[in-house]
Chain A
């Protein structure tokens, strides 16, 4: 099976439909699938639900799909960096489901592992627990959270081989592996596709079984908070 596609639009061909549920990797602007997000913007797919830790900034990341009103709902842990997001949310145009960051990551991981629900202490006694099943284990109370099963996962990695084995770089790994796992189909963009056999099999971060389509491209990799110390 050939997984490599010529560009983002070709890699998403036949996978997009209005109202679909997409899991996206990335933390802030770090490790986001910027090429695939651009292609979804160009495709004009509407009423999207995104499971993504953040919503980008106004002109980068998921923010570009907010500008074009393609997003119906966000499932996120933190959305502070995006004025258009706040405007749409406060005016009721955009639905928002806050998930604690670790709960969101585990919901993706669990979905990808065929686990429809799990219990966690995170959020017990807070608004996050409202309406959720509570259960005691060993004298402590936990709430049930559900696994995420997305129609599509869009992911950014550093390197891939032709079979889709992935290597991430530094903290750009973040939500990418759990997002990749929970998609019915997973499309990955990388900075470099290397010959199969050139990645150390002991150092693969995500095996190619999770990866269905693959593109290589140039990435802007924007820095959100450039912070330096004096030399």
Chain B
């Protein structure tokens, strides 16, 4: 079974040289720690930045320089800034090669739910709906089951959707699955996880 960092490291293997990529909050943020040697990717922050650098060292925080999670960050030599309309223009326009983001539920047809639980506090979708509708490739990184052991990889999502048939690949603590015609296809299993265990933890159809 993979831990958070191993899931992030596996997700980093999805990156290709020259890509512009958007990383979501949580485990996806950790992906930037595992960018493979020799691969150059440019990170987009949807509040208006390409070329996002690491967190600042203490004393160098700048209130005018934050990421989409509102955390202080730094710029790089290749950084460019722009406004929110242009930022989502490049997202909606398909210029961002890939988004890696978290999920509450994923379905076998690629439906994604990650923004609201009815009856619970709803904070909003932020840029998630725009990202999954617009970018070239959507990779979801999530735990395979909830804390009660119930599958979050489903035949159909039960929660309100963030996007319809938008997910291309799912990376969980148990393995990697692709959304294909008719269901999900196992790409690989995590260290120490058998294909039977992965199937047993998955409600969705595996083809």
Contacts and interface: CB of A to CB of B under 8 A. Distances in A.
Contacts of B175: none
A79 B123 contact: yes
Contacts of A102: 46, 84, 87-89, 91-92, 127, 129-130, 134
A92 to B, nearest CB: 14
A109 B46 contact: no
- Main SS at interface, chain A: loop
Interface residues of B, number: 53
B123 A224 contact: no
A100 to B, nearest CB: 4
B133 A124 contact: yes
Interface string B46-68: 11110000111110111111110
Contacts of A128: 125, 129
A29 B81 contact: no
Interface stretch (A2-10, A42-50, A165-173, A207-215): A165-173
Size class of A's contact patch?
A: 35 or more
A169 B83 CA distance: 11
Nearest to A79: B124
B163 A177 contact: no
Contacts of A231: 57-58
Interface string A94-135: 000010111111101100000000001111111110000000
A170 B64 contact: yes
B124 A78 contact: yes
Interface in A73-93: 76-81, 86
Given A53-B84, A226-B61, A229-B55, A125 B164 contact: yes
Given A98-B124, A101-B46, A122-B133, A228 B61 contact: yes
Contacts of B26: none
Given A126-B164, A177-B83, A225 B55 contact: no
A125 B128 CA distance: 14
Interface string A134-178: 000000000000000000000000100000000011111111111
A28 interface: yes
Interface stretch (B12-20, B69-77, B144-152, B192-200): B69-77
Nearest to B61: A226
A226 to B, nearest CB: 6
Given A30-B63, A169-B64, A229-B56, 8 more contacts: A30-B70, A101-B127, A102-B87, A102-B88, A102-B127, A171-B64, A171-B66, A228-B57
Interface of A: 27-31, 53, 76-81, 86, 98, 100-106, 108-109, 120-128, 158, 168-178, 205, 221-231
Q: Which 5 A-B pairs have the closest CB atoms?
A: A102-B88, A125-B164, A80-B123, A102-B130, A78-B124
